[in-house]
A and B are shown apart, each in its own frame.
Chain A
Amino acid sequence: MWIYEKKLQYPVRVSKCDPHMAKLLLEQYGGADGELAAALRYLNQRYTIPEKVIGLLNDIGTEEFAHLEMIATMVYKLTKDATVEQLKAAGLDAHYVSHDRALFYENAGGVPWTAAYIQAKGDPIADLYEDIAAEEKARATYQWLIDMTDDVDLQDSLKFLREREIVHSLRFREAVEILKDNKDMKKVF
């Protein structure tokens, strides 16, 4: 089971009223390489992977939910006090007529999240290579999001999330080495 902790993993500060940025951030909320997809992908794969790497999938999957909450916090803060006119100008009019200011699991283009974004092949190497690719794609998405805003506080939180993708990618790469049982590789370092 999971225990909720009433705090964010990293402080989220947003200093500019920019509802259009909220729309773009949805890519990491309900997009193919977003945090929801990441959490569900890893937690689902952990049932059919060798015991040596179950803990890693479990723990990274859990951390992804903390990241999902950070993205949600950004979207919430950026849209909470936006007027309907501002929402329309930001391209969120189609979102508004279906959801008001509610968050929804969709990407920046408004496409709803689907399980087709994630895979569980049952083959440990195939699954871990997908996980490494997912982390690199999420890292790239964070870069392009950082490029799309001049709000240094928002950039700061996004840079934290980009760095997490890098650490997760390294851990998944190490998991592959563990499953290869390549003792030489581990001894070199």
Chain B
Amino acid sequence: MAYPQEQEYYPFVGPYDPCPPITCKTYSTPPQLYIPFQPPNLPQFSPHEALMKGTLWPALFSPYESRWGKGR
């Protein structure tokens, strides 16, 4: 994939922060941010895979994993 789907940043950790710091924070940067106008003839998923992914085009697909149980 040409562009990152996620970016990270490192917030300041203060000496009086009450909770153990989450040192690395992330945010989504999905594909629509890098495609100003979709070019024609992009490769496609099969109809069934498109339904499962939520888009017909792999270039527009953005994965997201639940943070539940990951301690962040």
A residues apposed to B, CB below 8 Å: 10, 139-140, 142-143, 146-150, 155, 159-164, 166-167, 169-170, 173-174, 177, 185-186, 188-189
> What residues of A have a CB within 8 angstroms of the CB of B64 in the complex?
142-143, 146, 159, 162
Q: Do B38 and A149 touch (CB < 8 A)?
A: no
A139-B30, A143-B28, A166-B55 are known contacts. Are A148 and B68 too (CB-CB below 8 A)?
Answer: yes
- Min CB gap B69→A, angstroms: 6
Provide the main secondary structure of the chain B interface: loop
Residue numbers in A under 8 Å from B66 (CB-CB): 146-147, 149-150, 155
Q: Give B50 Cβ to nearest chain A Cβ, in Å.
A: 10
Q: Is the CB of A163 within 8 A of B67?
A: no
Residues of A within 8 A of B62 (CB): 162-163, 166
Closest to A146 in B: B66
Interface size on B, residues (CB 8 A): 23
Nearest CB in chain B: distance from A164 CB, A: 6
Per DSSP, are chain A's interface residues mostly helix, strand or loop, or mixed?
helix
Contacting residues of chain B (15-72) with chain A, CB-CB under 8 angstroms: 28, 30-32, 35-40, 51-55, 60-62, 64, 66-69
Q: What are the residues of chain B within 8 A of A155 when measuring CB–CB?
A: 66
Residues on B with beta carbons closer than 8 Å to the beta carbon of A162 = 54, 62, 64
CA distance A140 to B68 in the complex (A): 15
Within the complex, the shortest CB–CB distance from A33 to chain B, in Å, comes to: 15
Contact A163 to B54, CB < 8 A, known contacts A147-B68, A149-B66, A170-B60: yes
CB-CB under 8 A from A170, the residues of chain B are: 31-32, 35, 38, 60
Residues of chain A lying within 8 A (CB to CB) of residue B38: 170, 174, 189
CA distance A189 to B35 in the complex (A): 9
Q: CB-nearest residue of chain B relative to A143?
A: B64
Give A155 to B64 CA distance when docked, in angstroms: 10
The verdict on A177 contacting B68 (CB below 8 Å), with A159-B54, A167-B60 known, is: no
Known interface pairs A139-B30, A162-B54; A147-B67 also in contact (CB < 8 Å): yes
